[in-house]
Chain A
Amino acid sequence: MQTAISIRRAVKRYGPVTALQDVSMDIADNEFFTLLGPSGCGKTTLLRMLAGFEDVTEGEILLFGERIASLPPEKRPVNTVFQQYALFPHLTVLENVAFGLKMKGMGLAERNARAAKMLELVHLSGFADRKPAQLSGGQQQRVALARALAPQPKVLLLDEPLSALDLKLRQAMRVELKALQEETGITFIFVTHDQEEALAMSDRIAVMSAGRVQQIGTPREIYEAPVNRFVADFIGETNLIEVEVDSVSDGRATVTLPGGHRVVCAAATNSGGRHALSIRPERVALAADAPDLHATVERVIYLGTDLHLITRLDGGEPFALRLQNASRTALPDPGARIGLKLEEGAARLLAD
């Protein structure tokens, strides 16, 4: 598959502050690629470097093999959907969508026809003559999308475009964005701090923290095989337990929990000593026979589809479980001592 964007050892410094440290990644053509991380992790800075709003302190950015790091934004065949949409308030919806085409020198009739087609694509055909202020937030969002897609960029950059929408609209737009990406065949680079959003839409995700890429992988890889503590903790819920590594080789480890339980698990590290063990709360079952762990129930929280058990392991560490609310087994009462069985692959030894 062709590489759309290749970021090579990119560094961004603002005076003494380093915002991005040695970031490298390859993004394939036609990929829905997400930069995910907490605020301040450098994801937006990286996106702005791709758009051309921030210069690159060190390193290189290639767009289909061409160096673009020193080009101004207007010379880069990429377009951006801004977090606040940035629709031009004095232009109509149609003029907004046609703006990029006009700047590229397309004639009036042709660009208006194309802009109208783009509005059709985002289901806003009847709104061409309105001003942005006359639209709802969700509609403005679609105009911003249509405007950025109209010039047929090689890569579309999306800077937390859904963050200003309410929950229902956000969920609907997730599906629509993904469909739009498949329909247009354009590479999407999507920035978000919302892990659910990232998991729902992305082909691949780059998890970022403190100016560094922590892990790049498919949503499944990121969730099920996090490489380090940060990724395991940031994506989804997990129980992190400090354990002593007894032996580790070929990606398998035997570890001892503080309470004395021994667990065999997958390992993302090859070094011994103390490491964090991640156990997802939904990958654990109650078991009377031959349990892997023992715990004491502290609280049972009823969540409808799920039951949330807050327990404490024998070693004293807090441990959360999520059980589906389908089983007819009697629920343990607070104070009860229970046996826990880990599903295959539930536990994972992490690098720091």
Chain B
Amino acid sequence: MKGVRHYPGFLAITLLCLLVLYLPLTVVAVYSFNGSTSITSWGGFSLRWYADVFTGPEAARFGQAAWNSLTIAIIAATVSTVIATAAALAMIRGGRFRGKTASYALINLPLLVPEIVVAVASLIFFTTIGLTTGYLTILIAHITFCIPFAYLPIAARLSGIEGFYEQAARDLYASPWQAFRLILLPLLGPGILSGYLLAFIISLDDFIITNFVKGAGMETLPTAIFGSVKQGIKPNIMAISTLMLGVSVLFVSLSYLINRRGRPAR
């Protein structure tokens, strides 16, 4: 069979896709180092907009927003990963139980429901039960929609781990808890870490749902950036965006690398 590279038009289509996907990102990244105040004309290499992000007039606002984003992402990723791990264990190691299919659908539903629907529904829900919108409501919403993202790599990993490892551990006098902690957890580790990083990034990046449930005066980095952009795009936004892009790329790459390494020998 011919390699895919040898089909006519392969190169052209590939280049077009890469261009559409990555040219805008490249432009933002390049112009974040622009020395001029204009966002369209190049004024030489400079780090002034990065300095502006940390020391400029909007630094305090962005700093607080970044802090909120970071703490929410850490807590949301941690809680959703624990829930997702428990869910994966129940779904894959729990044998048959009533409502298994329904549980599966429930875990994965947030991936399918349009985000704007979740956003509106969450807001209505929080208002109905009388919960003041703010940090806590953002956190609850983030934990909820992070679960399926954490679940996917963990469940994929777990279904690749044969049941005989735990049986072998039990056979060698390990209690169920020891078999889980000493054998299954280390084997599952890369999946859990991968799920955690994915959940972290999803939480860090979220705008739509956060914007609905954040309440007045509370900002995360994406909502703060959006707030700034409404008053016109300044180069410092490009610097912040580039920083966020860097963090995202780092985490997604880590997640990928961790999941690829240390697969159980088959």
**Cα separation A104 to B171 with both chains bound (whole Å):** 12
Contact call B262/A90, Cβ cutoff below 8 A = yes
Closest chain A residue to B186 by CB distance? A90
B165 touches A88 (CB 8 A): yes
Q: How many of A's residues come within 8 Å of B, CB to CB?
A: 26
Shortest Cβ distance from B161 into A: residue: A89
**Is A179 an interface position by the 8 A CB rule?**
no
Could you say which residues of chain A place their CB within 8 Å of the CB of B162? 84, 86
Q: How far is the CA of A79 from the CA of B171 in the complex (A)?
A: 6
B167 contacts chain A at the CB level, 8 A cutoff: yes
Interchain CB contact under 8 A, A82 and B164: yes
How distant is the Cα of A103 from the Cα of B186 in the complex, in angstroms? Answer: 17
Which residues of the partner chain A approach B187 to less than 8 Å between Cβ atoms?
A: 88-90
State how many angstroms separate the Cβ of A321 from the closest Cβ of chain B: 45
Q: Of B168, B176, B262, B265, which contacts A80 at CB under 8 A?
A: B168
Complex CA distance for A51 and B169, rounded to whole angstroms? 12
Q: Is the CB of B164 within 8 A of A103?
A: no
Chain A, residues 41-69, CB within 8 Å of chain B (1/0): the string is 00000000001110000000000000000
Interface: B264 (CB within 8 A) = yes
CA distance A100 to B174 in the complex (A): 8
Give, as a whole number of angstroms, the nearest-CB distance from B211 to chain A: 43
A86 with B174: in contact, given A132-B265, A133-B265 (CB under 8 Å)?
Answer: no
* B178 within 8 A of partner (CB): yes
Residue in chain B with minimal CB distance to A97: B172
For residue B258, give the distance in angstroms from its CB to the closest CB of chain A. 14
Report which of A51, A90, A132 forms a contact with B171, defined as CB distance below 8 A: A51
Interface size on B, residues (CB 8 A): 21
B65 contacts chain A at the CB level, 8 A cutoff? no
* Residues of chain A with a CB closer than 8 A to B167's CB: 51, 53, 73, 80, 82, 86
Partner of B174, one of A103, A131, A133, A148: A103
Residue of chain A at shortest CB distance from B175: A74
How far does the Cβ of A156 sit from chain B's closest Cβ, in whole Å?
A: 11
A74 touching B174, Cβ below 8 Å? yes
Instruction: Mark contacts of B91-110 with chain A using CB atoms, 8 A cut-off: 1 yes-contact digit, 0 otherwise.
Output: 00000000000000000000
With A90-B186, A103-B178 as given contacts, are A74 and B262 in contact (CB-CB < 8 Å)?
Answer: no
Chain B residues, CB < 8 A from A74: 170-175
A76 to chain B: closest residue by CB: B171
Asked if B183 is an interface residue, CB under 8 A from chain A, the answer is yes
B173 touches A151 (CB 8 A): yes
Q: A52-B170, A88-B187, A99-B182 are in contact. List 16 more A-B contacts (CB 8 A).
A: A73-B167, A78-B171, A79-B171, A79-B172, A82-B164, A82-B168, A86-B164, A88-B168, A90-B264, A99-B174, A103-B174, A103-B178, A104-B173, A132-B265, A133-B265, A148-B172
12 contacts between A and B (CB under 8 A): A52-B170, A53-B170, A74-B174, A74-B175, A90-B187, A90-B262, A103-B173, A131-B265, A147-B172, A148-B171, A151-B172, A151-B173
> 9 tightest CB-CB pairs across the interface, nearest first?
A133-B265, A100-B172, A103-B173, A86-B168, A86-B164, A73-B170, A89-B264, A89-B265, A90-B186
